[in-house]
Amino acid sequence: MSPTEFSVGTKVISGLGSLARLSGEVEQSGARRLAVVADRGVADAGLLAEVLQRVHENYVNPVDDHALMHSAVRGLVEIIGLCGYYTMVSMTLNTFEFDLPGGEASELA
């Protein structure tokens, strides 16, 4: 899986090498809040614990667990909303059979 990055109000970074970018991304963004979202596989592999440890050790302002969890839940809700939105967009495009821009051929056809 190749690294993926997109931003719609909330910057989402995923893929290989994301953990190494954590400190630089936090410093560059000047963020005051950070949400870490992970699935059970990531947690079971110990990666979530490593990310949380780095946040506790390196974050500009101390982060208490309650605030971190609150931000994580908020980020999860935003991601679910984004997924729902883009699912609705794709269903609309498929239902009304919109053509690709510029007459391009679909790679999926």
Would you call 107 helix, strand, or coil by DSSP? coil
Number of structural domains the chain divides into: 1
Does the pTM surpass 0.75? The reply is no
Residue 107 belongs to a domain: no
Residue 103 belongs to a domain: no
pLDDT digits (tens, 9 = 90+) for 5-50: 655 566 777 777 777 887 777 778 777 667 777 778 878 888 888 8
pLDDT digits (tens, 9 = 90+) for 52-94: 887 777 765 666 788 878 888 888 888 888 889 999 998 998 8
CB-facing half-sphere around the CA of 31: CA atoms within 13 A: 19
Domain that holds residue 50: 4-98
